[in-house]
Amino acid sequence: MDVRIGIAESSQVIEVELDNDTDRDALKSQIEAAVAGSSEVLWLTDRKGKDLAVPAQRIAFIELGTTDTERRIGFGA
């Protein structure tokens, strides 16, 4: 699953590729807790096992992609 995280007051976007078997609802709950202030840091682990910490106060947006393993390449419809 692809995740894009926008950083407040910055044009930077963090892109993380999570395991396809990641529980989407659990991830949403974790994101909501961070954005609501219940957690100061949003921790994610990518598919290679690297941990990523994002300060919750700096999150501008989060975009959750699909769990499809097939990636589209080119300009096809």
In the chain, count H helices and then E strands.
1, 5
Of residues 71 and 14, more confidently modeled: 14
Paired residues of 43 in beta bridges: 53
Domain of 37, in residue numbers: 2-64
Taking 60 as the threshold, does the pLDDT of residue 70 lie above it?
no
Nearest to 30 by CA among 14, 41, 19: 41
Number of structural domains in the chain: 1
- The answer to whether position 75 is within a domain reads no
- The answer to whether position 73 is within a domain reads no
Taking 80 as the threshold, does the pLDDT of residue 50 lie above it?
yes
Contact between 3 and 18 (Cβ < 8 Å): yes
Q: pTM of the prediction?
A: 0.79
**Residue 72 banded pLDDT, cuts 50, 70, 90:** low
| pLDDT given for residue 28 in this prediction | 95
Rounded distance, CA 76 to CA 41, Å?
A: 39
Query: What phi and psi, each to the nearest 5 degrees, are found at residue 34?
Result: -65, -45
